[in-house]
Structure 1
């Protein structure tokens, strides 16, 4: 999140709206000086978003600072969102993973709806799907 000085990091955090959940990476020292600003601070998080289009009515998403080649549910349509690489990793069209780091997106956060559209364009198929 921040390589900057604590005062600069606090200034940025104070400008953000809503509940902020920090997925820790390797440059969080300044951010961690303001732990009360975060609704949660985690190394890893699995969440489920209500998504009627899914068979079970939920889209499961894995949040981790680092890109992974495989993750819990990666073979069953679970998404993995990461940062760390600053856009240096080529996007893998065959994997439901995506770099959501703001430095890759004109320093704006990527919305769930934007991520959903990106995931729809991926060429991923379930290895458990019936083959013709």
Structure 2
């Protein structure tokens, strides 16, 4: 299975305040995001992280990535320092990529586009950066944790939500975002 996520901001106290994530400490935040990730992602799954992984002050990126299930691919975000982009645990690192997943042409970047390759042929733009605050265009999805109940999401869940058959596109309120135990 292939999953997508963005804007985890591990170790960055600012997300507790700015994004109103429902945790009393960054340690609690990080442990909840790790548990949510591993609850969704299996060891043999692929995860495309669309940037802003962890604070440079948060420690060794390879140690963090070793705690997360799956093969991890990085699309570089504006807050990803060289210590993140050069981590050995990444299967791939790039600024932008295009994938064919489940017969759908995907355009992956940290930033949302107003127009993208093969947009007229129903390609899909997956992005982060906006923390669930940007109104999407058709076939455009914010895969950041703030927009996805603090966990990675599969393409089918995104497209089912848009068609009204699955999880919502809305940003979870703090009460809804509390990780299940």
Shorter-chain TM-score: which interval? 0.7 to 0.9
Number of the residue aligned with 2:139: 96
Q: 1:64 Cα shift?
A: 0.6
Query: What is the aligned counterpart of 1:28 among 80, 94, 100?
Result: 80
- CA positional deviation for 1:3: 2.6
Report matched runs for 1:1-132 at 5 Å: 1-7=53-59, 9-29=61-81, 30-34=83-87, 36-50=88-102, 58-92=103-137, 95-121=138-164
1:88 Cα deviation after fit: 1.5
1:10, distance to aligned residue in structure 2 (A): 3.8
Off by >4 Å, runs of 4+ in structure 1: none
CA contact (8 A) 1:6 1:31 kept: no
SS in 1 for 2:146: helix
1:8 offset after TM fit, Å?
5.9
Q: Secondary structure at the match of 2:131?
A: coil
Counterpart secondary structure, 2:163: helix
Number of residue equivalences: 111
Asked if 1 retains the 8 angstrom alpha-carbon contact of 2:107 and 2:126, the reply is yes
> Which residue is 1:124 aligned to?
none
Q: What is the TM-score of this pair, normalised by structure 2?
A: 0.56
CA distance in structure 1 between the partners assigned to 2:156 and 2:56 by the alignment: 30
The TM-score with structure 1 as length reference comes to: 0.74
Q: List gaps (5 residues or longer) in structure 2.
A: 1-52, 165-181
> Contact conserved, 1:6 with 1:33, CA < 8 A, in 2?
no
With a CA cutoff of 8 Å and minimum separation of 6, indicate the structure with the bigger relative contact order: 2
Conserved 8 A contact 1:62-1:80: yes
Deviation at 1:15, TM superposition (A): 1.5
Question: How big is the alpha-carbon RMSD for the aligned residues of Structure 1 and Structure 2?
Answer: 1.8
